[in-house]
Structure 1
Amino acid sequence: MTDQPQVAPEQTTDLDAEAVVAYLRAHPAFFAEHDELLLEQRIPHQRGDSVSLVERQLKLLRDRNIEMRHRLSQLMDVARDNDRLFDKTRRLILDLLDASSLEDVVMAVEDSLRQEFQVPFVSLILFGENPMPVGRWVSNAEAQQAIGALLGTGKTVSGNLREHELAFLFGEAQSKEVGSSAVATLEYQGVHGVLAIGSRDPQHYKSTVGTLFLSYIAEVLGRTVPRLTQTLRPVR
């Protein structure tokens, strides 16, 4: 097989540079039509070892432009994530409003959070002295003893919980796999309970993470459960 002649890297660079120069000469208004590229060019403007004020200003503008692009990209990512969360939350809330039984509610919550939201650990617990045959029910005293600190705030909390709190929410076996979690309280017209979600990642649900969508779901649950428990008989 005959060896093909190879072009040295220096020759390729020269050819590319010559092509660029020729193009710019043929299109003298190029930078006037694409002035945003000027901030990305490195054009020395100096005398000896001193750097001119113009070059310093251009460098600052270039760095600031890069930083603003990064911030804009991050904001766009957050906006896209929020759009996806909103759409999933909307579908779940509609399913809860259409539910005709408490069993439908429990299934809708667990299926949506596990399948749509991709949450590995989900727990819906209702409090009452007369437990119903559907879902998980505990007495108010038992809930206060296990997670009273979480219920006392009346707000949705997130972060790293204590071992006995995780065991109560997710069970002894699963609690050992939960790295971080978020817990929303249900409290409306005599209905009390919690909706908890967990992740294996200790940093996933930080104490500063937004819990707006989980709070919305918990509020809808609090208003949906009462009308569906009236037809159920307590477990004796």
Structure 2
Amino acid sequence: MTSMVGRVSGFRELFEILQRNVRDAGKWWPAETKFEILVGSVLTQNTTWTSVEKSLENLRKRGLLDPMQLVRVESCELETLIRPSGFMRAKARYLKNLTDWYIKTDARAGEIDTPTLRNSLLQVPGVGEETADDILLYAYDRPVFIFDAYARRLLAAAGLGEFRTYRQGRQACDAAWRAEGFTVAELALFHGLVVQAGKDARREGSWEGILRA
């Protein structure tokens, strides 16, 4: 499904093609608060969003989508509540780590430049590059492109390069998409479209219909 089915001129053209050919991606990232975005970014690691929604609802009912409450809850209870998302012990630790970071950093995040804020997130155990960029884009309105697995498959199919890892995609393409003048709102929509396009391509077994001119 990653074989090239068409060549586009760049990220802007790819964005416009997705807007034409992919059904409405809805509100993405779906969350009621900034902190909920952070929680969701950890829970979604290696699982489906449907599973994440179940965990978020458990946390919401328990009043734990509040950083001061989540940081105090017993780890065993937290593990039980997030069980639907899988890897519950590891994710419970990651959530505690990220919540501690949020409590210490959020109030002054607006004064921190994007590279420094990104590096700060990457120092948090359990936060990798994709999770950090999800948080930067959706919680802190920073201009980043999410080079997740769906995006890398799409870029390969569109003839914009084949990248085995998140870091390879970012290093190779960061300058290219930045040069095309995307706003933060467009980048947020772009990722939502990419996710939906990836689901559509997986269902159809091809990127061909999605990448038609």
TM-score (norm: length of structure 2): 0.26
Structure with the higher strand share, 1 or 2: 1
TM-score (norm: length of structure 1): 0.24
- Rg (Cα) greater in structure: 1
Question: Greater RCO between the two (CA within 8 Å, min separation 6)?
Answer: 2
